[in-house]
Amino acid sequence: MKKLFSLLATGLVLLFSSCQNAPPETTETTTLALLEEEEVKAADPSETQFEVMVDHQFYFTGNANREVYFMARIKGGADTAERQRPPLNISMVIDRSGSMSSEEKLSNAKEAVLMVLDHLKAEDQVSIVSYDDEVAVVKPSGKLELKSVLETKVNQIFSGGSTNLSGGMLEGYSQVKSTMLEKAVNRILLLSDGLANQGITDQEELQKICRAKFDQEKMAISTFGIGSDFNEDLMTNLAEYGRGNYYFISAADDIPQIFKQELDGLLSVVAQNTHLKIDFPANMLDLQKVYGYDASVSGNEISIPFNDVFAEEEKVVLIKFQLKEGFSENLNFQAELQFDDVLNGYVRKTEKLNLEMRPTSNQLAFEESANAEVLKNIVAFTAIDNVERVAALVDEGKFDEARELMSSNIKYMEQNDIYNIKMDSTLIKQLEGYKVYSESLDEVESMPASNRKQMQKSNKSMNYEYKKKKRK
């Protein structure tokens, strides 16, 4: 049992089920505001958890402290060995361009493909696509074949020409679409070590394709970049807009291990078709930024499709607002999470949470109503945003500006008056990682181009993992 003093003061929520008027195979959950001390049952670890919170119970009506932060957090339920997992419908799209012959990249990629095949079951659908300047379907999407037959086909993939990434990617989407399954995990796994130089090469156009494939056909894409010569910004954004995951693989030997990491997540999906909507008082607040995930905004509604949620995976969204002048009413937020509960019979669930911030002219009351969890994430996401700008400056060759911003960012984390980072091990590790990046910037002008590329990819990947709460 756990004591909670106030929902508004702590930002936590109490959920209760209200299924009497729900349509078949749907449950709805709403919230009660705890205004008095009450006991709340501990969360069921097998349930996907959803909570919302604000940075303070009160907003300050004075001239200072005009920023308001709203945070939503989802955590996937714990996986259970006895439950039946969703079938996989995946396409592995493997770069076989000439550069993949170096450092045994292609041989390790083949090993990763065979490892994935070893973990699939009879109900899964799988296809294998390889590409250089041309695209080949090694195995059309369908049930598993004899392992010896598949192994022969995979081993017959040889490196060749240039990189038609778009062609391989589109064929992967086509294969997954051809065997779309109800309640399946539909995913393209795209691996490349080079720049897209054949077919569609425009980054924005490729990103639009991935977004449309997910929005319209519910097919997600995860991307894997190997070595120092691929476009990490493109590969990250394909996964971001395509609602999958991005992985940087610095050494070819790590390809099977990183593929296994993604596979373990796909095999442990606990929530599907997960979608978050947040209504905010647009007449009183100006939306400044959404941290953590790509979002669409229409009027007073923010919409974020999360797609699949893995077992015990944490997803956090932080939203920054600016308080408009001349208001003294309560600020009311409504958040709605919808998802298919894989652990409980694929029931479509809707959880609705409401939060309220009250006005105060008392500076002390405002400060004492702070929510430490939100303040911690304000520091974390602000620092992440700064480092994204640092990396962009390095890419542009603006090294002095990058060093200056990186130094300011480290000082911000160490000396901010919002949250003492010594209270949180993840923030300390985040700071330590940034200090290593900062030290490498001292030598950035004299680095060989390949070393600089590797440095950038490594640090962008680290920053991405902090943003997606993949590093603890």
Q: What is the pLDDT of residues 441-450, one digit of tens each?
A: 999 999 999 9
> What residue spans define the domains of the chain?
2-80+273-370, 88-267, 374-467
Q: Decide if pLDDT at 376 tops 50.
A: yes
285, 289, 295, 300 alpha-carbon torsion, rounded to 10°? 10
Give CA angle at 215 (213, 217), nearest 5°. Answer: 55
Band of the pLDDT at 148, cuts 50, 70, 90?
confident
Q: Is 38 left (phi over 0), alpha (psi -120 to 50) or beta?
A: beta
pTM: 0.89
Band of the pLDDT at 46, cuts 50, 70, 90?
confident
Mean pLDDT of the chain: 89
- The side-by-side arrangement of strands in the sheet containing 285-291 is 49-54, 67-75, 314-323, 285-291
Query: Are the CB atoms for 463 and 387 separated by under 8 Å?
Result: yes
Q: Quote the pLDDT of residue 236.
A: 97
Q: Quote the pLDDT of residue 36.
A: 37
Q: Quote the pLDDT of residue 79.
A: 79
Q: Decide if pLDDT at 2 tops 50.
A: no
Query: Are the CB atoms for 181 and 87 separated by under 8 Å?
Result: yes
Q: Decide if pLDDT at 75 tops 60.
A: yes
Q: Quote the pLDDT of residue 7.
A: 38
As a whole number of angstroms, the distance between CA 215 and CA 199 comes to 23
Tokens of 288: 């400044």
Query: φ and ψ at 272, to 5 degrees?
Result: -125, 160
As a whole number of angstroms, the distance between CA 129 and CA 232 comes to 21
Beta bridge partners of 192: 225
Beta bridge partners of 340: 272, 348
Tokens of 159: 């490196």
Domain 88-267 matching CATH 3.40.50.410: the answer reads yes
Q: If you write DSSP's letter for every residue of 316-373 in order, what string do you get?
A: EEEEEEEEPTT--SPEEEEEEEEEEEGGGTTEEEEEEEEEEEEEE--HHHHHHTB-HH
Q: What is the pLDDT of residues 168-193, one digit of tens each?
A: 999 999 999 999 988 899 999 999 99
Q: Dihedral sign for Cα 122, 123, 124, 125, please.
A: positive
Q: Same CATH topology for 2-80+273-370 and 88-267?
A: no
Q: What is the mean pLDDT of residues 51-78?
A: 90
Amino acid (1-letter code) at residue 333: F
Q: Decide if pLDDT at 5 tops 50.
A: no
Q: Decide if pLDDT at 331 tops 50.
A: yes
Q: Decide if pLDDT at 82 tops 80.
A: no
Q: Return the CATH class of domain 2-80+273-370.
A: mainly beta
Q: Quote the pLDDT of residue 3.
A: 33
Contacts of 136 by beta carbon, 8 Å cutoff, 6+ apart: 129, 130
Tokens of 21: 């008027």
Q: Quote the pLDDT of residue 62.
A: 76
